[in-house]
Amino acid sequence: MAFAALGSATGTADRTPLKTSRVAMLLLLPGLAYLLLFFLTPLVSLVVTSVEQPVPFGDVGQFQLAFNLQNYAEIGLHYLPHFARAGLFAILATFFALLISYPLAYFIGVKARRWPALQAVLLTLVIAPFFVSFLLRTLAWKAIMSDDSTLVSVLRSLSILPSDGHLTGTWFSVVFGLTYNFIPFMTLPIYASLERLDLRYLEAGSDLYASPASTFWRVTVPLSAPGIVSGTLLTFIPASGDYINASSSFLGSVQTQMIGNVIQSKFLETEQYPTAAAMSVALMAVIVVLVAGYVATTGTEDLL
């Protein structure tokens, strides 16, 4: 399982004695029933809803099955930019989160090993943002980057930002917000795999005359690959469906709307359920394909 890296070792089933699978089924039953009823069935409902059409002369929000793909065609006609932005923003956020998190995780997991107390403090600080409402943290950034903030006036006086330039409501603020939000999700799994890294491998690298850089790229990075894969998935997937950062009352504007913004407004504001459902199905399909391809090429199928 990709997220097992967050915990410790798994899969020691081999050394435990074989027991009857009937007990196992009994233990699994409530969970499987729950997932069937409230995860798989809703996905089917979503697919069914996505091929519905408005009832002729019916009220707003009334639909009937039509079995055609008109709602999907509408995505291609009007909402490709929103899909593209979602993909692009999520990729950028994943990249920047990795850039920030890897050295941080390396410091905590490898360099700070000699000081367990420092390790514990740093780990606590990394998860600390989780304990403050995610919406309020995003609003804090909005205030820090707002037009009359100190930050913006400094940037304007240094001519880094034009005198009428903004930080909020731009691609920058949305990608920044997404990056910020997912740094802990990136740092923790990478830390978990680096923390177990056997330092003798690094010594072996330098004994064999590898430069520190090539030891890093050819030993450290491959050994922490499971953490990198978990971290990038934990960032990319939620980021691609996020609509808080990109929404106008947070860090975004009309120009930064992602597919999540469209899905929520169609579903919750204008009650165009079929269009929203078609977009959700398309988003899910794209993500499943991307994730499967990514996991296959990084050669970490055993994550599942």
Residues 253-272 that bind another protein (CB under 8 A): 260, 263-264, 267-268
* In the complex, minimum distance from the CB of residue 198 to another protein, in angstroms, rounded to a whole number: 15
Tokens matching residue 63: 């639909």
Q: Which residues does 192 contact at the CB level (< 8 Å), separation at least 6?
A: 5, 6, 7, 8, 109, 227
Number of residues lying near another protein (CB under 8 A):
105
Q: Is 15 in the site for another protein (CB under 8 A)?
A: yes
Comparing CA positions, the residue from 196, 175, 193, 197 lying closest to residue 231 is 193
Q: Is 124 in the site for another protein (CB under 8 A)?
A: yes
- From 76, 111, 214, 255, residue interacting with another protein (rule: CB under 8 A): 111
Q: Is 202 in the site for another protein (CB under 8 A)?
A: yes
Candidates 22-30, 68-76, 77-85, 155-163 — which segment interacts with another protein by CB under 8 A?
22-30
Q: What is the CA radius of gyration of the chain?
A: 23
Q: Is 21 in the site for another protein (CB under 8 A)?
A: yes
Cβ atoms < 10 Å from Cβ of 190: 28
Q: How far apart are CA 206 and CA 216, in angstroms?
A: 10
Candidates 12-20, 67-75, 152-160, 165-173 — which segment interacts with another protein by CB under 8 A?
12-20
Q: Is 146 in the site for another protein (CB under 8 A)?
A: yes
Q: Which long-range contacts (CB under 8 A, 24 or more apart) does 46-51 make?
A: 46/277, 46/280, 46/281, 46/284, 47/277, 47/281, 49/273, 49/274, 49/277, 50/274, 50/277, 50/278, 50/280, 50/281, 51/274, 51/278
* In the complex, minimum distance from the CB of residue 163 to another protein, in angstroms, rounded to a whole number: 21
Q: Is 304 in the site for another protein (CB under 8 A)?
A: yes
Binding mask 221-240 for another protein (x = CB under 8 A): ------------x---xx-x
- From 81, 129, 165, 222, residue interacting with another protein (rule: CB under 8 A): 129
